[in-house]
Structure 1
Amino acid sequence: MGQLTDASVILRLGYQAMRRAGLSTEKILKKAGVALNQLQLNERTPLSAQQAFWTAAVDVSADPDIGLHLGEHLPLYRGQVIEHLFLSSENFGDGLKRALAYQRLISDAFHARLVIEDGRCYLANGAQAHPNTLVNRHFSECAISGILRFFKFLTEGAFQPIFIDFDFDEGAVADEYFRVYECPVSLGQKETRLYFDASILDHPLWQADPDLLHLHEQLALEKLQELERYDLIGDVRRAIGATLEQGETTLETVAAQLNITPRRLRSQLSDAQTSFQHILSDYRCRLAKKLLSNTHESIERIVYLTGFSEPSTFYRAFKRWTNETPVEYRKRKQHV
């Protein structure tokens, strides 16, 4: 897996929760370095960006339990492929197992698994995706609220949590957890767990439809394959960035960085309906535009930074990309 990311819906749900809670969304997003237009994009965001978001949310709200309290204002998770996959399943248990198979579509912070043992039934989220304790705590507390609301919606209110374990040591007071989740909470556990009665797994889902289920499974699989292609291209772009200045950016050097054979990399990129040359050209184009727009680096320096051996080769490539010379592009962008 490449860079860990969240689906765009995570950012949109967080934004709506902040608005419902009466917080200054503009202040929080600005402090976190998130532009409002990012909310309209259907692009995944790096998991690491949550550090800035939760830090800003704590600072602006002055609420040390902001994750827990924002969770109370989360809208119901709707309109996504996992919801449709869940709803078209025969019962809650079948839907849950299918949803877990595709949980990456929501966030790489989820590593949940269903455990039924010794008369206990729980969802466990093992490996901690967020090494930062603050981020892990607020994300986990907020996510649990969203999950509980979604499960109650699917079961028409029948789902009830019995107990919740969190894998962080410091959190809210016990009464506040009970008020929000309506069940006891324990901190400092080895993993985050949501305990519930196993009988709910047999709860029939009123929208169950075998034909639709097949279509939704196909769509979920396609989305997962699309995400794997996104991972691959991201890995290639990062490897290109690491080798560009050395002037040794070839399919072979990038494949070596990724610990795969050039032949396998070429095949994987072909399956992803792209090529190494296309990704390299796009990377160089974006980097050149950024340097020309936002810096005063000399053209000669930009030729070097973008991995071109000769200025003439760079000039021809840039003219092909933009129909402008580098000098014309810089003048236009820096005099706007």
Structure 2
Amino acid sequence: MNKDFSGINMQDAGMLLRIAYEAMKELDIDVSEVLSRCHISEDVLNDKDLRTPNDAQTHFWQVLEDVTKDPDIGISLGKHMPVFTGQVLQYLFLSSPTFGTGWERATKYFRLISDAASVSIHIEGDIARLSVNLDGVTEAANRHLNDSLVIGAFKFCQYVTEGEFKAIKIAFAHPSPKDITAYTTVFTCPIDFSAADNYIYFDADLLARPSSHAEPELFALHDQLASRKIAKLELQDLVYKVRTVIAQQLESGIVTLESIATELDMKPRMLRAKLADIDYNFNQILADFRCELSKKLLANTNETIDQIVYLTGFSEPSTFYRAFKRWMQMTPIEYRRSKRR
């Protein structure tokens, strides 16, 4: 059985896009042009539960550089990005007893911000090193993402320490650009490039700095809330896994809750309950997947209807026609014609 789910849908919190949106407005960038070319609606930004595909980051920064003609747009945007606030991680950080405890919790719950990024603290003698790691993101185009994330982490550290945080050195994972003036205008400390990761070095004594907003009861409450949010994301991962197995089994024509549960090493009752916890049911996931696949095949390929019936796992054309008419209020042939026009 194929249980490789290493491609779990890597996503970022919509909050990152909203912060970038505010910075773009500050820089008088043509926001409508950028969002249009990234196929994003401004209305979508108001969705507090929005999570965006991490693999779209490369395209976003390429579009942004193309629109602005700024080779250092990550630095430029980072300088104007508002501090990350208003999320459970911020509240958890502020209610933590110390700056170091705040980072311990941030490390544990950083997935609330991004599936593809992580943070960690390493101490070497008197020096602490904050690592901002982009897992599996190595494209040169994401130099801008690296830059904006490091600036964002630096600003946040200053915010939660009420300005006491000072960087001893900054290191970037990407190679040095020809002109580093944009970097030296933001950071007054030494800057390295081509490092093993993105690092912010600072005085380790700061980790023991007490938070002026420390509150044990709130800290416990925020910790529980963050834990529940992580649990919800893990359940949403299950939906992605179910869709992945559906794709693997669809051509066999036999896709059932039981067959999916077997592939996921779960009891059918457990799978049904876990999906219900996030208001999903198996039949709807299967129908949505078949609908999306049918539309793609009809619009983007020359596959015959009989072949599409087979590829989408239907037993006969009449069943496929009825289902598609129910989904789209038109027949498959009408849909294909409308897309060809």
Task: State the TM-score, normalizing by the size of structure 2.
Answer: 0.84
Partner residue in 1 for 2:226: 220
Once the two structures are TM-superposed, the CA of residue 312 in structure 1 deviates from its matched residue by 3.1
Change (3 A) 1:3 1:285: same
- Supply the AA of the counterpart residue of 1:117: E
Partner residue in 1 for 2:61: 54
Cα distance in 1 between the residues matched to 2:148 and 2:197:
16
* Consecutive unaligned residues in structure 1, runs of 5 or more: none
Secondary structure, in 3 states, of the residue corresponding to 1:157? coil
Task: Please point out which of 31, 43, 46 is paired with 1:37.
Answer: 43
Matched, 1:78 2:85: yes
Matched, 1:261 2:265: yes
Cα distance in 2 between the residues matched to 1:286 and 1:248:
18
Q: Is the 8 A contact 2:34 2:67 kept in 1?
A: yes
- Supply the AA of the counterpart residue of 1:261: D
Change (3 A) 1:277 1:83: same
1:205-246 alpha-carbon deviations (Å, 9 max, x no partner): 222211111111111011101111112211221332344345
Q: Is the 8 A contact 1:167 1:191 kept in 2?
A: yes
Matched, 1:108 2:115: yes
Task: Please point out which of 19, 23, 31 is paired with 1:13.
Answer: 19
Task: Please point out which of 270, 278, 292 is paired with 2:273.
Answer: 270
Once the two structures are TM-superposed, the CA of residue 194 in structure 1 deviates from its matched residue by 0.7
Matched, 1:63 2:70: yes
Q: Give 1:189-268 correspondences, 5 Å limit.
A: 189-251=195-257, 254=260, 260-261=264-265, 263=267, 267-268=270-271
Cα distance in 1 between the residues matched to 2:129 and 2:35:
35
1:17-56 alpha-carbon deviations (Å, 9 max, x no partner): 1111111112222233333333233321111101110111
Change (3 A) 1:262 1:209: closer
* Consecutive unaligned residues in structure 2, runs of 5 or more: 1-5
Partner residue in 2 for 1:153: 159
Cα distance in 2 between the residues matched to 1:17 and 1:236:
37
Q: Is the 8 A contact 1:266 1:276 kept in 2?
A: no
- The farther-off stretch of 101-110 and 291-300 is 291-300
Cα distance in 1 between the residues matched to 2:161 and 2:296:
50
Once the two structures are TM-superposed, the CA of residue 295 in structure 1 deviates from its matched residue by 8.6
Secondary structure, in 3 states, of the residue corresponding to 2:185? helix
Matched, 1:183 2:186: no
Cα distance in 1 between the residues matched to 2:20 and 2:157:
19
Cα distance in 1 between the residues matched to 2:175 and 2:185:
20
Task: Please point out which of 106, 123, 131 is paired with 1:124.
Answer: 131
Cα distance in 1 between the residues matched to 2:241 and 2:201:
37
Secondary structure, in 3 states, of the residue corresponding to 1:102? helix
Secondary structure, in 3 states, of the residue corresponding to 2:155? helix
Partner residue in 2 for 1:134: 141
Change (3 A) 1:146 1:186: same
Cα distance in 1 between the residues matched to 2:214 and 2:114:
25
Task: State the TM-score, normalizing by the size of structure 1.
Answer: 0.86
- Supply the AA of the counterpart residue of 2:45: L
Cα distance in 2 between the residues matched to 1:203 and 1:172:
38
- The farther-off stretch of 204-213 and 34-43 is 34-43
Once the two structures are TM-superposed, the CA of residue 251 in structure 1 deviates from its matched residue by 4.8
Q: Is the 8 A contact 2:261 2:271 kept in 1?
A: no
- Supply the AA of the counterpart residue of 2:75: L
Change (3 A) 1:242 1:11: farther
Partner residue in 2 for 1:163: 169
Cα distance in 2 between the residues matched to 1:44 and 1:228:
14
Partner residue in 2 for 1:92: 99
Cα distance in 1 between the residues matched to 2:333 and 2:140:
48
Number of aligned residues: 331
Q: In percent, how many aligned pairs have the same letter?
A: 40
Once the two structures are TM-superposed, the CA of residue 319 in structure 1 deviates from its matched residue by 6.2
Q: Give 1:318-333 correspondences, 5 Å limit.
A: 318=324, 324=329, 326=331, 330=335
Once the two structures are TM-superposed, the CA of residue 14 in structure 1 deviates from its matched residue by 1.2
